[in-house]
Amino acid sequence: MVYRNIAFVHLSNGGHWAHKNFVSDLKAKEITVPELSRVNNRGLRYLNIYKTFSGMKKSLNGFDAIIFEDLALVGLLYSGAVDKKTKIIVIVASEWPYLIFNGFVSRPKLLLYKMLIKKVGLFIAVSNMQRDFLIKLGVKPEKIKVVYPAPKENVRKELLKIKPNLKSKNIVFVGNIRLRFGNFDLKGVDLLVKAFKEAKKRIKGLRLFIVGGNSEYIVSQYSIAEGIIFTGTVKSIADYLRKAALYVHLGRGDAMPISVTEALTAGLPTIVSEYTGSKEFVNKINQKFVVPLDYHKAAKEIEDYFNLSYAEKLRLSKKAREIGREVNEKSGRMLFKKYIEEFLDRSI
């Protein structure tokens, strides 16, 4: 059954392009929530958020279903802005489940999250890590579906042609450094820098390319070792993937970074943390490549990798590309649409 009366609601940052791609086949109406209050006084902040949500009643009425890009937006239900009969779907692609289970969320906020969760009919998690977090929070498994975000198709085609330089001593990381709670880096670049500095003591000629913006914090907080290159924002990551032998991503609750999928598609063996959603892909290459949030252990794995023979690196590269090749935009859109329509058909 095809539903035309669906809304896709996201914050004023425009919504993630991968999520917009998910909903494109549903012909959903895109609705932007104005920027929420950032005032320091908690009472005033919540009052302003309530006013923002209440003011959206006209734009959110009359939909069969609303797809929210973030669980916090489900708070719109408590403002009276959404019809009670409207079916609620949430894409789970941010770090909030990790923050809950690692003590970064206050008890009142945790209770709020649990209230919001009860209002949701279907969760679309972008990784099995997110799915597992939701189950621990009491969500029934049948209410959760997993759909992987994929690289843009034109980028994917370019990545499949790349031959990484497996004979080099180059590591690459792609991503904008994202801070929380003052100095909490979700991408784990602080751990990556420490791991690199330790591994470099034993691997001559080791270099690390950090590709992306917002590197000023890392530069200011750590004595950067020789061999670390901050590229800033670039138009294409292909050149950096092409010159590398290894990709490393030590995320803290990073749900399913597309940069990791891109690296795999380019044939780069990859090391990730146990709190990076892409670990389910990396596990298929080598279980040892999934490491704890411990830079000493990450450094040891980096060292072990560079001590492998070229033939073994080539075998791992081919395996990485096989896994990355399977993730594409078309299959993601089809699966997303299938899960939404099945959910709505059951809810009639």
Tens of pLDDT, residue by residue over 279-295, are 999 999 999 999 999 99
* Residues 305-346 pLDDT 10s: 999 999 999 999 999 999 999 999 999 999 999 999 999 998
Does residue 125 sit in the same domain as residue 255? no
Q: Which pLDDT score is estimated for 108?
A: 86
Average model confidence (pLDDT) for the chain?
89
295 lies in the same domain as 342: no
Mean pLDDT (whole number) for 104-117: 88
Is residue 254 in a domain? yes
Tell whether 165 and 145 lie within a shared domain. Answer: no
| Residue 1 lies inside a defined structural domain of this protein | no
SS3 (DSSP) at 216: helix
Q: Closest Cα to residue 321, out of 255, 280, 268?
A: 268
Model confidence pLDDT, tens digit, residues 231-275: 888 888 999 999 999 999 999 999 999 999 999 999 999 999 999
Q: What is the 3-state secondary structure (H, E, C) of 87-120?
A: EEEEEECCCHHHHHHCCCCCHHHHHHHHHHHHCC
Q: What would the two tokens of residue 314 be?
A: 């080539």
The answer to whether residues 81 and 113 belong to one domain is yes
CA distances from 205 to 70, 197, 242 (A): 43, 12, 17
Summarize the confidence of residues 205-234 as an average pLDDT. Answer: 79
Please indicate, yes or no, whether residues 137 and 229 belong to a single structural domain of this protein. Answer: no
Claim to verify: residue 108 and residue 194 sit in the same structural domain: no
- Residue 117's domain is classified under what CATH number? 3.40.50.2000
CA distance 187 to 341: 34
Q: Are residues 75 and 175 in the same domain?
A: no
Q: Are residues 180 and 286 in the same domain?
A: yes
- The reply to whether 22 and 160 lie within a common domain is no
Flag whether 185 is in a domain: yes
Number of H helices, E strands in the chain: 15, 14
Domain count for the chain = 2
**What residue type is 244 in one-letter code?**
A
- Between 110 and 283, the more confident residue is 283
Select from 244, 277, 221 the least CA-distant residue to 166: 244
Residues 263 and 334 in one domain: no
Whether 72 is covered by a domain: the verdict is yes
For residues 232 and 261, state if they share a domain.
yes
pLDDT tens-digit readout, 162-196: 999 999 999 999 988 766 655 567 899 889 999 99
Backbone angles phi, psi at 87, to 5 degrees: -80, 140
Q: Residues, the chain, total? A: 348
In a domain, 194, yes or no: yes
Over residues 153-167, the mean pLDDT reads 97
pLDDT above 70: percentage of residues in the chain: 88
Q: Which domain holds residue 307?
A: 153-325
Q: Which residue has the higher pLDDT, 7 or 51?
A: 7
In a shared domain, residues 142 and 10 = yes
- Asked whether residue 334 is assigned to any structural domain, the reply reads yes
